[in-house]
């Protein structure tokens, strides 16, 4: 079933334009997409949030931050996001 996901990221410590391009290319390959903000995307996919996260984390460094959130329902996955934020998300989404 197709669902819509919000993908947001912060690439830290002086990432190069080629590293951004590599991640952006992978986001665009996921399905139909829109880019509402600088580091924020909406993507339509049959994958789950955790599957998208696991795929995209191969294209970023371990010190980077990644948020993948199903905006169709409460299915979401994060990497490198502060525990206070993920606790808030668990209570409010």
Q: What CATH number should be reported for the domain holding residue 61?
A: 3.30.70.240
- For residue range 23-80, list pLDDT tens digits in order: 999 999 999 999 988 899 999 999 999 999 999 999 998 889 999 999 987 788 889 9
Q: Which residues contact 83 (CB under 8 A, 6 or more apart)?
A: none
Residue 16: what pLDDT? 67
Residue 14 has pLDDT above 70, yes or no: no
Domain that holds residue 83: 3-92
For residue 21, pLDDT over 80 is answered with yes
Domain count for the chain: 1
- Non-local CB neighbours of 6 within 8 Å, separated by 6+ positions: 40, 41, 42, 67, 68, 69, 71
In angstroms, the CA 22 to CA 20 distance is 5
């Amino acid at each position: 079933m197709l669902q819509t996901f919000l993908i947001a990221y912060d690439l830290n410590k002086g990432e190069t334009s080629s590293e951004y391009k590599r991640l952006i290319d992978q986001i665009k390959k996921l399905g139909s997409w829109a880019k509402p903000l600088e580091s924020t995307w909406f993507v339509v996919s049959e994958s789950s949030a955790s599957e998208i996260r696991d795929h995209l984390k191969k294209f970023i460094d371990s010190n980077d931050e990644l948020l993948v959130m199903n905006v169709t329902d409460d299915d979401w996955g994060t990497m490198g996001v502060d525990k206070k934020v993920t606790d808030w998300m668990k209570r409010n989404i």
